[in-house]
Chain A
Amino acid sequence: MAIEISFGQYLPLDSYIHRLDPRIKLIITLINIIIIFIVKGFIGYAFLACFLIALILLSRIPPLYIFRGIKPIIFFILLTFALHLFTTQGTELFHWWILRGTVEGLRNGTFMVIRFLLLISFSTLLTLTCSPLELTDALESLFSPFKRIGFPAHELAMMMSIALRFIPVLVEETNRIMKAQIARGADIESGSIFNRAKNLIPILVPLFVNTFQRADELALAMEVRCYRGGEGRTKMKEYILSRGDFIILTISIIVAIISILL
């Protein structure tokens, strides 16, 4: 019953996409996510999907990794499809028991599925081609204009970066604690929901306690390395926008406009 998490996983490769400025990658992803909900026709989606495939190819990421991003949510996607199929009013397409599938339902359901798949694929591509630091740097950079009104851009970015860094550590720890408690006769797989929830306590409590201890030690280590917040801090990684970045941004905007029009 071990846990595996693919989300937030960075795959360090050397590709055109990897080398792009992370701010541009973030902006493009955001543009595409917004467009996904504006596009109205199949052809528009098809065009957008082609753009996505082109990006995946350019990134040299094996398609398998994109699928792994989709896998955990596949049930939810199918459920959404079924819901739309059977609850949308309109001309009846077919009839099964008390369920009534409509043409409009089929159309809406299919659209939702396409939207989810595109959404997850773009997001997964982003995290696969940007290191956690690049992502948080990009976020910090985009939010820094708001620092003037008190928005803690740096602190949030630092928190996110540390959280991403510790995901594999915490996953391993959770597995370890689970095994230890199962070895003592704990049963987290059978029984009523109430029972199973109760049996999560021997896993969650140690996890929390250990995580607080970790946080304490990490804060100390950061202090020792002279961390005192964002003031006066420099960054080893300098992000300079290049021609390639502007080109792809322009292409992205053109694709977006065309997709809406189609």
Chain B
Amino acid sequence: MPSVIELKDVWYQYNPDTPIALWALKEINLKISEGEFVAIIGPTGSGKSTLIQHFNGLLRPTKGEVIVDGVTISKNANLKSIRQKVGMVFQYPETQIFSETIYDELAFGLRNYGYPEDEIKEKIEDATKKMGISHLPLSKSPLSLSGGEMRRVAIASILAMEPKVFVLDEPLANLDPQGRRELLDEIDALNRRESLTIIIISHDLSEIARYADRVVVLNEGKIIMDGASKEIFKDVEKLVEISLGVPQIVELLYTLYKRGADIPYNILDIEEAARCIAKWRKSLGNRDKFRTVPAS
């Protein structure tokens, strides 16, 4: 698959040439292909926000190259066109709402790109359907909606611009379990049905790992892991060490494994984990086949 975002040996430094200069990104090599669902995970301060701002030219690398859809981002690059291709939703997007009507808010991006009003109407209808908010009266004030609805409107306003890549920074922040599930399902549907490349940034691995094809782990400005979700979870200790939200199931299985149990621990599905544990228990019968660790 062709790569839609590529970072070649990218380094980024904040406040260069001052006493508070800080290297936020080091030696980043990353290739994201069309149609992928990638989760970029890292603890606070790992450089996640800095990284994604390179995807749409908000920041330009101190060293290295960023190539978006075949176009290298340079001083003369048409950043506006890149920002239409790479749609970006920041954390708590409902706090960026400013328009008088929901319609105007949804149309903001499209109007900035000079689309004619009749096309705008179509694209908005499409986007609201995909985000499950087509029932909302478009002439209402967006600030009168609930938090969850406002967030959906904000996301839809970017979706309406029909980007090739959809980048979402902590899209599930502060949603309740049902809200999180619904939103993730919708984002997943966008990936499966429309082949939209999805990049989600988070500090919590648990749920997102179950949806993403690929997980990239960032720590202290460097990529320390990059692979399929199941592969990433083989290195549980490292993940826990850098304070990432690892699913409790994985932590449990790993603890059993360390005690001598012969079971894989990179399982994300609870049912599968239960089966593995049950099978292992039965295979032991009544014999104590593990090191007894004193209760702590």
Contact = CB atoms under 8 A, between A and B. Distances in A.
**A–B contact (CB under 8 angstroms):** yes
Interface of A: 64, 173, 176-177, 179-187, 201-202, 205-206, 209-210
Q: How large is the interface on B (under 10, 10 to 19, 20 to 34, 35 or more residues)?
A: 20 to 34
B211 interface: no
A187 B83 contact: no
The SS class assigned to the A binding surface is: helix
B139 interface: no
A206 B95 contact: yes
B257 interface: no
Given A179-B90, A183-B58, A184-B157, A202 B83 contact: no
A203 to B, nearest CB: 8
Contact of B158 (A64, A173, A184): A184
Contacts of A202: 96, 98, 108
Contacts of A185: 80, 83-84, 109, 112-113, 161
B127 interface: no
Nearest to A181: B96
A186 B143 contact: no
B73 to A, nearest CB: 14
A210 B96 CA distance: 9
B98 A206 contact: yes
Interface of B: 19, 53, 56, 58, 80, 83-84, 87-88, 90, 93, 95-98, 108-109, 112-113, 143, 157-158, 161
Contact of A183 (B56, B95, B97, B143): B56
A196 B84 CA distance: 20
A205 B143 CA distance: 12
A177 B113 contact: no
A206 B97 contact: yes
B216 to A, nearest CB: 21
B56 A187 contact: no
Nearest to A179: B58
A64 B18 CA distance: 10
A180 B94 CA distance: 11
27 contacts: A64-B19, A176-B90, A177-B96, A179-B53, A179-B58, A179-B90, A180-B93, A180-B96, A181-B96, A182-B83, A183-B58, A183-B83, A183-B88, A183-B90, A183-B158, A184-B83, A184-B109, A184-B158, A184-B161, A185-B109, A186-B108, A187-B80, A201-B98, A205-B98, A206-B97, A209-B97, A209-B143
A186 B95 contact: no
Contact of A184 (B19, B53, B95, B108): B108
Nearest to A209: B143
B123 to A, nearest CB: 14
A206 B83 contact: no
Given A179-B58, A179-B90, A180-B90, A187 B112 contact: yes
A206 B96 CA distance: 5
Nearest to B167: A183
A201 B83 CA distance: 20
Top 10 closest A-B pairs, CB basis?
A185-B112, A205-B98, A184-B109, A183-B88, A180-B96, A180-B90, A202-B98, A206-B98, A206-B96, A185-B109
